[in-house]
Amino acid sequence: MFNTSLPIQILVVDDQDADAFFIEQAFNQSQIENKVHKVKSGDEAISFLKKTGDHVEAPRPHLIILDLKMPQKDGHEILAEIKGDEEFRDIPIVVMSASLEESDVQAAYRNHANAYVPKCNGFEDMLDFVSAIEKFWFLKARLPDKAA
C-alpha cells in the first residue's frame, strides 16, 4: 500500500499540451486519488519544485513524468538538474519520450532516470501506462514521503 498522504501529486513536464492533457485524463481514471500538475518547460519544472514564481503553493510531487524533447532546456538537462539536487533526487522520474534513440535512453539512465518509456500511441495505450504506473509506483513500491 502507498505510504504517503493522498492525493498523490504528479508533475508532468511536457511542452505539448495534447500529451499533457492525455496523461492528466488517464490519471483521472486512476483508482488512486491523485492530482496532476502540468508545466511546459524545464525552467517551470524547477520553479515548481523550488516553489518560486507562480508556484509558491506547489506541493512536492511524488512522481515526475518528463518529456525529453523540449525547447530551451531539454529533458536531459532537467533530469540532470533535478537528480543533481539533494533535495529532489529521491523523487522518481519517468522519462516519456517519442525518441527511441539508444543515445537518449542511455543518457536518461546515466542521469538517473527511474524509467524510460516511449510516448503512448493513443488514449488506450496511455491508460495502460497509467495503470502500470499506479500498480508499481503507488501500490507496490515504497516511496519517501517528505511531507511526513
Q: Is residue 48 over pLDDT 90? A: yes
Using pLDDT thresholds of 50, 70 and 90, give the confidence band for residue 92: very high
Burial of 10 per CB tally in 10 Å (0-12, 13-18, 19+): buried
Q: Is residue 143 over pLDDT 80? A: no
Distance of CA 98 to the CA centre of its chain: 15
d(CA 30, CA 79): 26
Q: Is residue 137 over pLDDT 90? A: no
- Of 90, 92, 91, 94, the closest CA to residue 105 belongs to 94
Using pLDDT thresholds of 50, 70 and 90, give the confidence band for residue 70: confident
pLDDT of residue 148: 40
Q: Is residue 17 over pLDDT 80? A: yes
d(CA 60, CA 146): 8
Residues contacting 85, CB < 8 A, separation 6+: 49
d(CA 46, CA 1): 29
3-class DSSP assignment, residue 26: helix
Q: Is residue 44 over pLDDT 70? A: yes
Task: Find the largest Cα–Cα distance for the chain.
Answer: 39
pLDDT of residue 32: 87
Q: Is residue 1 over pLDDT 50? A: no
pLDDT of residue 4: 55
Question: Global pTM?
Answer: 0.92
The Cβ of residue 143 has, within 10 Å, a number of other Cβ atoms equal to 16
Q: Which three cell numbers stand for residue 117?
A: 518509456
Q: Is residue 139 over pLDDT 90? A: no
CATH entry, 8-139, from 3.40.50.2300, 2.40.50.140, 3.30.420.40, 2.40.50.100: 3.40.50.2300
Q: Is residue 147 over pLDDT 70? A: no
Q: Output the average pLDDT for the chain.
A: 90
| Residue-range domain boundaries for the chain | 8-139
